[in-house]
Amino acid sequence: NAGVTQTPKFRILKIGQSMTLQCTQDMNHNYMYWYRQDPGMGLKLIYYSVGAGITDKGEVPNGYNVSRSTTEDFPLRLELAAPSQTSVYFCASSQEITGGGETQYFGPGTRLLVL
Amino acid sequence: AQSVTQLDSQVPVFEEAPVELRCNYSSSVSVYLFWYVQYPNQGLQLLLKYLSGSTLVKGINGFEAEFNKSQTSFHLRKPSVHISDTAEYFCAVSVGGNNRKLIWGLGTSLAVNP
């Protein structure tokens, strides 16, 4: 199993450009997440999904959109890139278990620089 | 509101010395507790977690943590660290079993020096 894969690994965008960060998992997990990680700020949840066709906002959703058409894929869309979106983005997945406490499995991250 | 505080942002330590990374949380309801590790330029991976049962939890790479309900703490320990333990360590809490919104600490950077 490849686990959680993310593409690209690194990208430079100009202000106002758009892009899609790809995330795929091959573990058949029903939950998927997008986080951003800024230096010294820990992880902030952007969006999450509990299954195909179902998405919901996290702590910092502004400026982002997601879709979940399949169990495997959970792309993150930036429509109008801004310097404040310079960050490292992590996708994660987990499988719901009775009673909660699931382990999240993370991808290697996408480093985004907006200039 | 629930929160997680990692009391040390940076912990320098010599190789083979013991280490403790501290984590406190605030919650009035039951919690699940996690420690994740992030090696340089990688994603996070689970070290260990407490769901219920024994308050002493053993994880990978020789790490362990103790859940202390009265102190609302979940400190991570290792009796003898190795250079390869150099990484960022994150404590996280899910409240009431709702894993969809983990509350994350800001991280502790562990630097193991020879």
- pLDDT band (50, 70, 90) for residue B99: low
Q: If you average pLDDT over every residue of chain A, what do you get?
A: 94
Segment B34-62 mean pLDDT: 93
Task: Inform me whether the pLDDT recorded for B64 exceeds 70.
Answer: yes
Residues of B within 8 A of A68 (CB-CB) are none
Which of A102-115 are b and which e, b meaning 16 or more Cβ less than 10 Å from the residue's Cβ? Answer: bebbbbbbbbbebe
Of the candidates A45, A107, A30, the residue with the CA atom closest to the CA atom of residue B94: A45
What is the pLDDT at residue B101?
A: 75
What is the pLDDT at residue A66?
A: 97
- pLDDT band (50, 70, 90) for residue A41: confident
Residues of B within 8 A of A107 (CB-CB) are 43
Segment A6-32 mean pLDDT: 96
CA distances from residue A96 to A52, A89, B86 in whole angstroms, order as listed: 14, 23, 31
Task: Inform me whether the pLDDT recorded for B98 exceeds 70.
Answer: no
- What span, in angstroms and rounded, lies between the C-alpha atoms of B56 and A53? 39
Residues of A within 8 A of B106 (CB-CB) are 40-42
Interface test with A, best of B6, B31, B44, B101 (most A CBs within 10 A): B44
- What span, in angstroms and rounded, lies between the C-alpha atoms of A93 and B90? 17
- What span, in angstroms and rounded, lies between the C-alpha atoms of B1 and A104? 23
Q: If you average pLDDT over every residue of chain B, what do you get?
A: 91
Cβ separation B42–A94 shorter than 8 A = no
CA distances from residue B29 to A1, A9, A31, B2 in whole angstroms, order as listed: 37, 39, 23, 9
Q: Which of A5-9, A37-41, B102-106 reaches the highest mean pLDDT?
A: A5-9
